Amino acid sequence: MQLLILGANSDAAGAVAAKFAATEKAGLYLASRDLDRLRNRAQDLAIRHQVNAEAIFFDATDYTSHQAFYQSLNPKPDGVVLAFGYLGDQELAQRDFAEAERIVAANFLGALSVLEVIAADFERRGHGFIVAFSSVAGERGRQSNYIYGAAKGALTVYLSGLRNRLHRRDVRVITVLPGFIRTKMTEQLNLPARLMAEPSEVAEDVYRAFRSGKDIVYTKWFWKWIMLVIKSIPEKVFKMLKL
Ligand SMILES: NC(=O)c1ccc[n+]([C@@H]2O[C@H](COP(=O)([O-])OP(=O)(O)OC[C@H]3O[C@@H](n4cnc5c(N)ncnc54)[C@H](OP(=O)(O)O)[C@@H]3O)[C@@H](O)[C@H]2O)c1
């Protein structure tokens, strides 16, 4: 199996790459912007799991480069893990559109752009799978992060449509909905320890979903129930909460 990891410097992506390398002996294309970090990760995974791992430059928001980026991959991947994301600064984004644009670009437009290129190839070949990291933040808008949430919500809807389109070609699309993961994205935030997942736990959940044929996976599992409760709160009440 050859796996393309987009945003492969993400801590969660690193754990997923390790899981697929260990269990499937997957060859890895590790794609992201920080090539030094990526090369270290590639070297580490290659030695630890005795697989091929290659570091490749990829910028999710450089849309016009996506076609050439994908074309350069030989062999073509059997699966893609899309893990790049940008939490951004909600308050800054409220007063500075450039920050809002960065959030939407990194979390939604970049994913749309590159996944359309990949989907066309998988559709033509009738082969492949896509695992994409969205977020429970996309399930209901909250004042503390609704711009990031809106971008992730758009991504979740997009993935649902893509799954619907590719299903008849035997191409799977798995939507990953994490709650909180202990990564560099959340290290500055004060989040409840009991709700946090380690990247390795997320990787286990993703791999289990891959093996079992699930379409949507909440990680950790209890977020499915937390979000069910959050989504069921009437808007009249919800708008008065400080979330
Ligand atoms: N951590 C959480 O609690 C949490 C919760 C819900 C959802 N998620 C989502 O899960 C995914 C993984 O999260 P994480 O916490 O593991 O992330 P992370 O460790 O913060 O890493 C995110 C990575 O995204 C990459 N990235 C950002 N913009 C990019 C761009 N324009 N082009 C290419 N790469 C770009 C960065 O790569 P470079 O370092 O190479 O620049 C960065 O290493 C993200 O999509 C995130 O939104 C995370």
pTM of the model: 0.98
Confidence (pLDDT) at 122: 98
Give the residue-averaged pLDDT of 187-200: 95
| Average pLDDT over all residues of the chain | 98
Q: Tokens 């990291």 appear where?
A: 133
Specify if 222 maps to a domain: yes
pLDDT-based confidence at residue 11 (cuts at 50, 70, 90)? very high
Asked if pLDDT for residue 75 goes beyond 90, the answer is yes
Give the residue-averaged pLDDT of 107-129: 98
Give the residue-averaged pLDDT of 81-93: 98
Confidence (pLDDT) at 108: 98
- CA 16 to each of CA 11, 12, 45: distance values in angstroms, whole numbers, following the listed order: 9, 6, 11
Confidence (pLDDT) at 231: 97
Asked if pLDDT for residue 243 goes beyond 90, the answer is no
Which structural domain, as residue segments, surrounds residue 63?
2-238
Distance CA 114, CA 18 (A): 23
pLDDT tens profile 127-173: 999 999 999 999 999 999 999 999 999 999 999 999 999 999 999 99
The protein residue whose alpha carbon is closest to atom 7 in ligand 1 is 135
Closest atom of ligand 1 relative to the 137 alpha carbon:
6
Specify if 107 maps to a domain: yes
Specify if 211 maps to a domain: yes
Q: What is the best residue among 5, 6, 9 to mutate for testing ligand 1's pocket, by most ligand atoms within 8 Å of CB?
A: 9
Rg of the chain (C-alpha set): 17
Adjacent-strand bridge partners of 178: 219
Here the CATH number for the domain that contains residue 182 is: 3.40.50.720
**Among 23, 30, 79, residue whose Cα is nearest residue 49:** 23
Asked if pLDDT for residue 13 goes beyond 90, the answer is yes
Specify if 243 maps to a domain: no
Confidence (pLDDT) at 207: 98
Asked if pLDDT for residue 234 goes beyond 90, the answer is yes
Confidence (pLDDT) at 242: 87
Pairing of strands 27-32, 2-6: parallel
- CA 158 to each of CA 108, 133, 139, 145, 163: distance values in angstroms, whole numbers, following the listed order: 9, 12, 13, 20, 9
Distance 133 CA to ligand 1 centre (A): 9
Specify if 227 maps to a domain: yes
pLDDT-based confidence at residue 8 (cuts at 50, 70, 90)? very high
Q: How many domains is the chain partitioned into structurally?
A: 1
